[in-house]
Amino acid sequence: MKGSVSNRIKGFVLSTGRTGTVTLTSILNTDPNIQAMHEPKPSRIYHIMSDLYLRNKLHREVLAGIYFRSRKRMLCSNNYYIEINPFMWGMGSVFCYVMNNPSILHVVRDIRTYIVSIMNFKAHGWHRYLIDFIPFWETNVSKIILGIDNWDSLSSEEKISWRWVLMNQTIGETEKLTRNYMRIRFEDLFCENEAVQKDILDRISSFFHMKIDKKEIRTLLARKLNSSTKRSIYSFESINIQRQESILKIAAPLRKRYGYL
């Protein structure tokens, strides 16, 4: 399949979600030669397929075939295609096996603000009524990461933390499989320090070989597209202190790797 994959694919942006990917899509689309799409349909199914693939219930060649058939129409464009899709968190290695060194941009976010954002987002999303009835929708991390023996007794916050670990670890493993891997932090992209923000924007433009208008992009960054507007919790500190400690313990190795510790 490596030779048959469209050369119009410029890369993928993968993350846990709630990492500013809607805004990042707008940033990438400021280059007229790029067609960046955020979660094009079908997308949610790839969350379930990521789970099945990591449980060895779906072969990578089958998954790759399903994906490229579903994107055939989009790849007919003359522009270079970039897909920004947190639902495909488990598919990075699939792309690495069926493509020649695909470009994978990995966006990470500190668990402390991620867990607040994801809980607020889920608390008000339409899918909150269906989650418990859709098989594989909420990944049971204990089926993939060994040594988690008390999964059913964990709190919602602890389960979210383990999913944050699994998703980021899985995406991060692509660094070993492609020469074109880069990781950036949500906090650096949306920070108020112009020097830090400029560095991130320069890295993104260089990574995807694109031209960007930094003035236009700073306007986009200031809008905070798709942010959580309704609140069920207001800060990490509003979570029960014992759960805070458990969350930070679960996330500690990756937080250290990403520079949050």
Q: What is the pLDDT of residues 34-55, one digit of tens each?
A: 999 999 999 989 999 999 999 9
Please tell me the predicted confidence (pLDDT) of residue 119: 85
**In this predicted structure, what is the pLDDT of residue 5?**
52
What's the pLDDT band for 97 if we cut at 50, 70, 90? Answer: very high
For residue 213, pLDDT over 60 is answered with yes
Q: What is the mean pLDDT of residues 3-28?
A: 87
pLDDT of 146 reads 86
- Over residues 84-90, the mean pLDDT reads 97
Taking residues 94-113, what's their average pLDDT? 96
Region at 170 (left for phi over 0; alpha for psi -120 to 50; beta for the rest): alpha
Provide, rounded to the nearest whole percent, the portion of the chain with pLDDT above 70: 88
Global pTM value = 0.91
Residue-level pLDDT at 141? 96
- Secondary structure (DSSP) of 130-176: TGGGSTTSS--GGGTSTT---GGGS-HHHHHHHHHHHHHHHHHGGGG
Q: Is the pLDDT reported for residue 23 higher than 50?
A: yes
Question: According to the model, what pLDDT value does residue 258 have?
Answer: 98
Percent with pLDDT over 90 in the chain: 71
- Give the residue-averaged pLDDT of 211-240: 74
Q: Residue 72 gets which letter from DSSP?
A: T
What local confidence, expressed as pLDDT, does residue 222 receive?
Answer: 75
Query: Residue 3's pLDDT is what?
Result: 43
pLDDT value of position 123: 46
Q: How confident is the model at residue 6 (pLDDT cuts 50, 70, 90)?
A: low
d(CA 236, CA 239): 6
Supply angle C-alpha 32, 38, 44, rounded to 5. 155
Q: Does 27 or 136 have the greater pLDDT score?
A: 27
Average pLDDT over residues 155-169: 96
